[in-house]
Amino acid sequence: MKQFYLYQEKNDFEVWEAIKNSNENAFSLIFQHYYNFLYNYGLNITSDKDMVKDSIQDLFINIWKSRRKLGEVSSIKFYLLISYKHLLFKKLKKKKRNNEQIQDFSSGKTPVEISVETKMINQQNNTEQINKINHNLSLLSKRQKEAIYLRFYKGFEYQEISSIMSLNYQSVRNLIHEGIKKIKNNLNNNSSKTSNP
């Protein structure tokens, strides 16, 4: 546990360099630190839990095998997400899974909902308000939900999200702006209808 905090004090560049120099402890700690993050993101792409887990394992195996050839990385989290998303979609395409196995962000309760609920109702335990937000989130497009998820739940910057989603910077800003605007407008409209029967 002491060594965990030691690596927490180092920046991503230093940790990545340690991995490139075959430091197994650094590699193991990065795996443990980002496993749940990658797992939760994977479940937003496919419901196949085994594939999600296998893809994470494969990602880290590939990193370790090619560690001496790795380039510089300023954000490990960003690097892992882009690499993982690419690997997961490659596996889905290879196995020729049908579209039903690729979950829309609009189906089910995703981490986006948890994050936006928390931010928009200031962590109030208001079941009715939470249900309203859940409903309005389900009306967003898949792209809007993914962008909001990455921005508010995972804390990525707009430029990083543009790379992850293969969109330009302004398109990402527009997706998030329009998504939040749509949620707020729907909430306001519902509120008006309730107060003026």
The pLDDT tens digits for 30-65 are 999 899 989 988 887 788 888 899 999 999 999 999
The answer to whether 74 and 18 have CB atoms below 8 angstroms apart is: no
Taking the CB of residue 56, how many other CB atoms lie within 10 A of it? 23
The stretch 85-108 carries a mean pLDDT of 63
Q: How much is the pLDDT for 62?
A: 92
pTM listed for this prediction:
0.58
Q: How confident is the model at residue 192 (pLDDT cuts 50, 70, 90)?
A: low
What domains can be seen in the chain, in order of their start residue? 2-101 (1.10.1740.10), 111-195 (1.10.10.10)
pLDDT (average), residues 13-19: 88
Give the pLDDT of residue 63: 92
pLDDT at res. 58: 93
Residue 152 scores a pLDDT above 80? no
Size of the chain, expressed as the number of residues it contains = 197
Compute the mean pLDDT over every residue in the chain, rounded to the nearest whole number.
75
pLDDT digits (tens, 9 = 90+) for 131-148: 666 677 777 888 888 888
147 vs 161: CA distance, rounded Å: 7
Q: Binning pLDDT at 50, 70 and 90, where does residue 114 land?
A: very low
Print the SS3 string covering the chain: CHHHHHHHCCCHHHHHHHHHCCCHHHHHHHHHHHHHHHHHHHHCCECCHHHHHHHHHHHHHHHHHCHHHCCCCCCHHHHHHHHHHHHHHHHHHHCCCCHHHECCCCCCCCHHHHHHHHHHCCCCCCHHHHHHHHHHHCCCCHHHHHHHHHHHHCCCCHHHHHHHHCCCHHHHHHHHHHHHHHHHHHHHHHHHHHHCC
The pLDDT value given to residue 129: 58
